[in-house]
Structure formats: C-alpha cells, structure tokens
Copies of this chain bind each other. A is one copy, B any other.
Amino acid sequence: MITIAEYLLTRLEQLGVKHMFGVPGELNLAFSDIIEDFQKITWVGGCNELNSSYAADGYARVKQSLGVNLTIFGPGELSAMNGYAGAASEDVPLLHIVGIPSTTQQKEQSLVDHTLGDGRMDAFMNAAQQITYTREILTKKEEAASKIDRILIECVSRSHPGYLALPTDLITQKISSDSLKFPLSRYVTQNDPAAEKFVVDRITELFGKSMALNEDAVVLVDLGAIRHDVVKELYDLLKRTGFPVYSTPMGKTAIDETYERYGGVYWGSVLSNPEVKKRVESASIVLSIGSFLSDFNMGNFNYNIQADRLIELQHDRTNIQDIMFPGVGMKQLIPKLGAQLEHLCDVASKIPVPKYDNILPQGGTEAITHEWLWPRVGQFFAENDVILAETGCPQYGIVDVCLPKGSVLLSQMRWASIGWTVGATLGACLAIRESTPRRTVLFVGDGSIQMTVQELSSLIRVGVKPIIFVLNNSGYTTERLLHSESEQRKYPDIACWDYAGLLRVLGDFDNTLSRSYKARTKQELSALLDNEEFGKGDKFIELVEVFLDKLDAPWALKNWPKPGQV
C-alpha cells in the first residue's frame, strides 16, 4: 500500500519525468512533502505559476515526453492557464496538477480562501475544461489509480495537456501499488486494415503516375511529425524513397536541415525563398506530414497548394485530395508507404532540391540589423544546440536560418504567448541536464522578457547555463510593423531596463555564475560570437543585450503578406 501521491509520482517517473515544476501553496503542501521525499523526481519551484507552466512545457518539448506543473486551486491554477492553453494549441503533453480543497470542504461549499465567494467549487475546473478535454478530479481513493492512469495515458498518447485535481484529504490516503508493475504506454491509432490498404494503394498510384510523368513530388513536414512521434518513420521513408523534403516554420528541425534532400522552409507564396516556392508549388504531389494550420505558420494563410495535389497525413486521419479517411493514422501508415514507394527511388532522387544555407550580407551599417543578425547567429550555432526563439522578431528571424545537425528549435508559433521562452528555457535546460550536454540558446525581445523576467533567477538557482540574447529594440516592434498606425504611437513603447544588469540583482550577486554583455555594433557582437569561451555554454549563463533599431525587423515581418496577397 502506498499513498495516492506516491502512486502518481511513480507513474510520472515511469513515464520519464525527472523534474517537475510549480509553486507550492497551502493546498498542495502535503503533496509537496511527498515530492521532496521522492528520490527520483526533483522539484523545481518557480517564481510564479505561469512561468512554471512554461518551464514544464519547454521540458516536455525537449524530451518529447510528459512535463508536469503543480499549482494550487484558484489563483494558482488560473495563473497557469495560459501556459497549458499553449500546450493545448501546440500538442504538448503537459500535466497540470492542482491541489484543491478537501472533499468535505467541496461538499459543504465552504467559503475557504481562493474561492469566488459564491460557493462554486467547480468554477475553475469548468474553466479548465474549455482548454483541455483531458481532465480528472479525484473524488475517492478507490478510483484514484485508474483515474491517474487514464489521464496520463491520454496526455502522452494524444500529446495534449491534462488537468488533474487532487483534494488535500485524498493525497495521503493509501491505495494498492499492484498496478504499478505494469508501466503505462503511449497508444497509437490502430488503423483499420482495409481502410489503410485503400489509402496506401491510392497514394502509391498517385505517386506512380506523377513519377511516370516526370513531375515533382515533395514531402512537407510540420510540427505534428515531432509531436506525434513519426520522425523516425519519416526518415526511413525519405531515405528509402529519395523524395525531397521541406518543412514549414513550425516543422523546423523535425528533419535535420543539413540532410541532403532537405530544401528549406515553405512559408507560403510571398515569404518562401523563390526556389523553395517554385519547387513546392509546382509539385504535382505534396505529401504533408502532421500539418499545423495557423496564420504565422502559413505565411498569413498564403499557401498555394491546391487540394487536388495534397495528401495530408495526421496522427488520427489521412486526407487524400478532398477525401478524408478518419482513423488511418500516420504512425502505422508511413512505414507501409515507405515499402510501397521505395521502387520510385531512382526517379525521386533526381528531383532537384535547392541549397539551404546561411549567407551573410556584406557591407551595410555598423549597427546590428536583423538582415545581418540571423545568418550571423546561424554561423554561431553548433550541432545539437537547443534553440528557443520567442514570439515576435526572433520567430520571424529564425525561420530562414539554416540550423545545424541535431539541433532542436522550440518556438511557440501558433499560440504565440510572449514571454513563454524565458520559462521554457528553464525547462529545456533541465531536460538537457538529464542526458547528454548540449547548449541552450535563447533569443528573446525586450517586450517579451519583461513579461516573465523573474524566471532568469531560477536559471541561476538551479545552476543551468543557457546563452541568452535579449533583442532590445525599445518595445513591441512586431506591433509597429504589423499595424502601420502603431509605428508612431506611444503604446508599443515599454520601460527601458538595464538587461545586462538583471542577473546580478536576481541572484548572481558577485558575478561568479553569469556574464552579461552589451552589443551595439556588428563588430562587438561578432567578437563575442567568435570568442571560444563565450560559445562553450558550460561555465556561465551568458546574457547579451543586443541593440537594434526600433523599426528594424526581419525581412519576413517587414514583408508580412496582406490577406490574399500573392
């Protein structure tokens, strides 16, 4: 017999959780005691609940497995809601655990602190249900194990956040540990054999016809490939068939950008590199893997790929041209496609692929510009880097950077909650610490870092060493560019901070754990990027405040398509 808390923690540990995040509070303290005594999971307290939720999300994204955030009922959970909504939007398996009043207090509708004062104990859970379908509230110990198991399987299998509410009186009650002998596993959509065969045959026929006519066919990879765990299967298909592969912005780093048949990023008709645009838009078949629709990802809905040329594989369905086959999921489908399409390899391997690279513009000003910055940091990146690009300029800038082998890009391109990367960097660094050392490199704008700045102190406190570039362009430059009226307005302005002074006051009092710099010119920044000690990312948190003009922006943001533009 073990406590419900220990049961839950053991399940989390079985699913690979080694760090969990959150903020302690009266309604989760008994659980916090048990977490602290549980040897296999390390508790990481955050400065606030939203930041901790972002950390758990960053942790989950790097590991491609479960992240966990713990809050209290009411203020705590509501503060974290934007965090797990981001996970819902971008298919991240994130468990939000909430310490709630005891079952007796709930029954009596006791007006305990943290309630709305109207006796409704279920208001916050009902709000949570709008954000995440996967939800459990423990109500008696007899059901605890099965409810815990169910929500965990749902989270990891659907790659979706879940909400688990633990009443204070239940957490220390004892239940059988018997079922823990059988670890949980991620389930995969089991394809109906007949439907799957039909789909494979139809796709094979379309590819065969296309190759016979010497037309192009391309694969277009999106975030779903990563989230729904088909990257290995996809590589196998690509290598067996030789088809060219492109990614969307959100699909970046699903496929190594140095892979010889990788041609770069398709970002709709206006923003794509002209060669990429031509290759993708003229292909007679676009095999789309795990696509994620959103205006950023699609260059403001600017795709020029007609439905009759599109085959779309998703984790739970397949669309061939206009016809949908629900329940034919890509995890089982892709290997079969690989086998059927292998014979086309000779022809497919000859389909041209543009060269994708980082080309530094020559000349220009002394001052740092986005045009120069992004290819320049492209040269700075090294194999296996974990790169975080905040919403706003970093996101627009990073899309066109060719990233090195083994690197991972984290960027919240659909949910787009500014400030997310600061918390996510904490989680990412701790996920990395669990395995082979890799550098973590963060790009965050000044407006964004102001949202969540306190979590820099947690980086110091837990002893991780990211490299942080704060892009100081005096406010919300993205707004100034996306809404021309904003350009001369005051509301996109923000307070001026001494970003390079932050780490000292936030905990590194004697500058033994961090180094901070200010870079105002290309020369200053280049000198730093070329400095071997700086680039190591193992001794110090390195923070560079990079100064940019408030109306300078990455090309894509300056040229962001108007609705319907071609």
Contact = CB atoms under 8 A, between A and B. Distances in A.
A566 interface: no
A29 B452 contact: no
Interface stretch (A178-186, A291-299, A427-435): A291-299
A347 interface: no
A495 B461 contact: yes
B486 A33 contact: yes
A457 B450 contact: yes
Interface stretch (A317-325, A436-444, A496-504): A496-504
A543 to B, nearest CB: 12
Interface residues of A, number: 87
A495 B116 contact: no
B24 A295 contact: no
Contacts of A296: 113
A131 interface: yes
Interface in A52-108: 74-75, 78-79, 81-82, 85-86, 88-91
Nearest to A296: B113
The interface centre, meaning the residue of A74, A78, A293 with most chain B CB atoms within 10 A of its CB, is A78
A294 B113 contact: yes
B494 A45 contact: yes
Contact of A75 (B416, B479, B486): B416
Given A32-B489, A131-B127, A450-B457, A89 B112 contact: no
A390 B492 CA distance: 30
Interface stretch (A200-208, A260-268, A505-513, A529-537): A505-513
Given A74-B415, A117-B294, A496-B507, A36 B88 contact: no
A405 interface: no
B498 A504 contact: yes
A246 interface: no
A482 interface: yes
A43 interface: yes
Please provide the 8 A-B residue pairs with the shortest distance between their CB atoms, ordered closest to farther.
Answer: A75-B417, A78-B82, A127-B127, A501-B505, A457-B495, A29-B483, A111-B293, A127-B130
